[in-house]
Amino acid sequence: MYTIQIGSFVLNGQIILLMVFGWFGWIAMQRYIRKLSAEENYGTIALNAFIIWFLVWKGSPLLLDPLQTIKHPASLLYFDGGVLGQWIASMVSGLYVAYRTWKERLSWKFTAEIASCYLLGGMAFYHLGLIWFESDNWLFHAGYAVLSLVALYSLFVLKQPAPLKRIVQRWQWFSIGLVFIWYLYPEKELLILSFSSHQVFSLTMGIILSIFLWLYDVQKINGERGNH
């Protein structure tokens, strides 16, 4: 757990980093919305999604170890669900965003654009903050932040209306870029060959997105032939 001590007062660094993620993700999202002069109120959806993520993450020990958590409820103040809790929180908040998009009949493509800006902006400054707490791994976190900012900038320079293919391509490049960025992390645990579990996941996502883009192009070509 990361901590910041000011005199006798100790701050939870992890929560501060999450606030940094949420704040700068919000700023990136709002600037993108302003750039497009969009009228949809994604601000409320993003704020609620972040709050849901945080509460599920902090409360995930109730799901992962209910007996011990119920026996020691004060532990929720000091502990969280770790990486597995983060995945559970991400799925729940993602389902919330999908539900709000469906309920309010918003554009799925535009929601993907907005969410991409939020996540990339948040990740960039989250890893910049981690340089303070993990100075030994500063090169990895700096590389992660730069990759996120480059991907974010590439979204801002897209010509509008941006096709779904261009948005997916950004995540394809980002996933493949992470495979190389993780080589900068000296403490990575190898899973297979010279790849860590993070690299395997990133490479898998890159391959899945590449297949999606290939199928997208095939469908588009077949559609154009059908019109002729």
Cis check for the bond before 161: say yes or no (omega within 30 of 0): yes
Residues 164 and 215: their CA atoms lie apart, in Å, by 13
Count of domains in the chain?
1
User: How much is the average pLDDT of 65-88?
Assistant: 77
CB–CB of 183/192 below 8 Å? no
Is 91 part of any domain? no
Give the global pTM. Answer: 0.90
110: Cβ–Cβ under 8 A, 6 or more apart, which residues? 38, 40
| pLDDT tens digits along 170-213 | 999 999 999 999 999 988 888 887 899 999 999 999 999 999 99
User: What is the span of the domain harbouring residue 163?
Assistant: 3-40+106-227
Is 72 part of any domain? no
Residues 93 and 87: their CA atoms lie apart, in Å, by 10
CB–CB of 57/86 below 8 Å? yes
Q: Which residue has the higher pLDDT, 39 or 48?
A: 48
Q: What is the mean pLDDT of the chain?
A: 88
